[in-house]
Structure 1
Amino acid sequence: MPASSSWTAADLPDLSGRTIVVTGASSGLGAVTARELARAGAHVVLAVRDTAKGERVAAAFTGDWEVRELDLASLASVRAFADGWSGDLDILINNAGIMAVPQSKTVDGFEAQIGTNHLGHFALTNLLLGHITDRVVSVSSGAHRIGKLHLDDLNWEQRRYDRWRVYGQTKLANLLFTSELQRRLDEAGSSVRAVAAHPGYASTHLQSHTGSRINHLLFNTIGNRLLAQSEEMGALPTLYAATQDIPGNSFVGPDKFLEQRGHPKLVGRTKAAKNADDARRLWTLSEELTGVGAGTMPVAA
């Protein structure tokens, strides 16, 4: 395996015979991730809200793929996806997400960002857990550093809505979920790993949906054009986390410019993201909110 400082998608191993689900794979980092995994030989399932869009995107792929409907903002859709799964699933990549959008709610009444970025993936992972044979990869963000966990108001019903603080909380939740999932896998004696990744500052469609003209100007006119790295580079930490021999609860991000650009390496996280008690409490609350308990812990390698 080459040094992480020079690792690219060209270094992906042969993934023939492997089945990988990528959520949010119809655009942005998810589409690049799915494309590269399929190119390396995996059977890739694009789990997307808009299946027609997913089909159009995947039609340009080289390799084996299929498209299935999944709306993470709907627990009914999450359950339907999981109920339709049979057989082994080597890798689940929890990639889909929304960023700093105007205040709204999911069909289940959750604040949209926590509902999509955390609760939807929490439910999906636990419903599929008995099928997973290798690892779960959750895509977080450097924005977890501005996140604070408010378990008494996870859905921001008692405070003034702040789209960026809400987003930061969801990305912090991704890391706490990863650590608690790994703890539970270890406790069960499972060889399955839970890991996380973040893309740094990548030019994607996410920046177009904040609903703020100022944010649009800063990101799309200045940030994406002058500072951001490409989607291809932004997908590397996820691809690395999904395929390389790294420890459970690892966090992968870019290696340069304060983790904003570059090739993948193992990176650190905030003290809040290491709080084991918060991770357990978030897990319990997530079970209560979604009605989805811990899935059957896999024990196979």
Structure 2
Amino acid sequence: MSGWTADEMPAMDGETVVVTGANSGLGYEGAKAFADAGATVVMACRSAERGEAAATDIRRTVRGGALNVHVCDLADLDSVAAFAEEAIETYDGIDVLCNNAGVMAIPRQETADGFEMQLGVNHLGHFALTGQLLSALRASEGESRIVTQSSQAHTAGEMDFSDLQSERDYGKWSAYGRSKLANLLFAYELQRRLREADADVVSVACHPGYADTDLQFRGPREMGSSVRMGVMKVANAVFGQSAAQGALPMLYAAVSDDVIGGEYVGPGGFLDMRGAPEFQTSNAASQDEADAERLWTVSEELTGVSYDFG
């Protein structure tokens, strides 16, 4: 995959791709690339207004495809369920689901369902969404893929099941690391269960390296810290690669023939922060099958969503 770029994406005419958080950052760039390849892109966005603005902007530059905006607030399980129901009714099947949306290093907040916000949006919302879209993924012709966006910050995460919602002890970065570790535990466990069920669906994980997006600014913005905003601007300028470059691992995981399921794709350049996508190895904690099974059970209990593998 040396030097792989979005120009090498295959034609995706007739395929349907769901991208969460498609109105900005990595999701925006992913939606643009999928549409340019000819796919029908379902832009799952928290704000219909911001989603439509992004879709209008993308349509000016892409050669084909279609962009359809649907509301999906991952911090509200009712919104997730409504989106999944609408998607199943609207589309014959789903070929790719990109679990991309996320929040990072914000002051402690709770979702509509009482979950710690970073775990709730980054993991639990996507867990519920994937389970409710599984029938549509299985209904697509040929192999379909589920791509879950993690981060190298997973190495700072710890699955403390006695305080999963960080109610006793909250650190914005440790909570973010936990949510990204949960993404990997979920993606790998999902692949094991799909393989056991002999389903024509594969689960892949990815990370963007250090991409210059608005994600880094939400925490400082909500804290009202102009100093932290300034630090982030400098860090993004010095270390960050473009959002379009950061989206490449997600795109590669979604379309490459080299992917068989269970991989972790990230940029292969300096400190895995930038560069072309390559297969990588996540840390030992992310491959703990006992933790993965426990997280799966807890996630089912918290979201009320059980997977039907047929």
Which of the five TM-score ranges fits, normalised by the shorter chain?
over 0.9
Runs of 4+ in 1 over 4 A off after TM superposition: none
Q: Which amino acid aligns with 1:94?
A: N
SS at match of 2:203: strand
Q: Which amino acid aligns with 1:110?
A: F
How many percent identity over aligned positions?
48
Distance 1:250 1:279 in 2: 16
TM-score (norm 1): 0.95
2:108 is the alignment partner of 1:109: no
Distance 1:84 1:57 in 2: 21
- What is the aligned partner in structure 2 of residue 198 from structure 1? 207
SS at match of 2:166: coil
Quote the offset at 1:215 in angstroms. Answer: 3.6
- What is the aligned partner in structure 2 of residue 227 from structure 1? 239
Distance 1:241 1:191 in 2: 16
- CA-to-partner distance for each residue in 1:48-91, whole Å, 9 max, x for gaps? 01111111111122231100000000000001011112221111
Quote the offset at 1:130 in angstroms. Answer: 1.0
Residue ranges of structure 1 left out of the alignment (5+ in a row): none
Specify which of 156, 177, 185 is matched with residue 176 of structure 1: 185
- CA-to-partner distance for each residue in 1:152-188, whole Å, 9 max, x for gaps? 21101122x1000000000000000001101110111
Aligned positions of 1:35-114 closer than 5 A: 35-61=32-58, 62=62, 63=64, 64-86=66-88, 87-114=92-119
SS at match of 1:72: coil
Aligned length: 292
TM-score (norm 2): 0.92
Distance 1:72 1:248 in 2: 25
CA contact (8 A) 1:5 1:255 kept: no
Distance 1:88 1:276 in 2: 30
Q: Which amino acid aligns with 1:101?
A: I
SS at match of 1:102: coil
Aligned positions of 1:121-160 closer than 5 A: 121-132=126-137, 133=140, 134-159=144-169
Quote the offset at 1:242 in angstroms. Answer: 0.5
Distance 2:229 2:264 in 1: 29
Residue ranges of structure 2 left out of the alignment (5+ in a row): none
2:202 is the alignment partner of 1:189: no
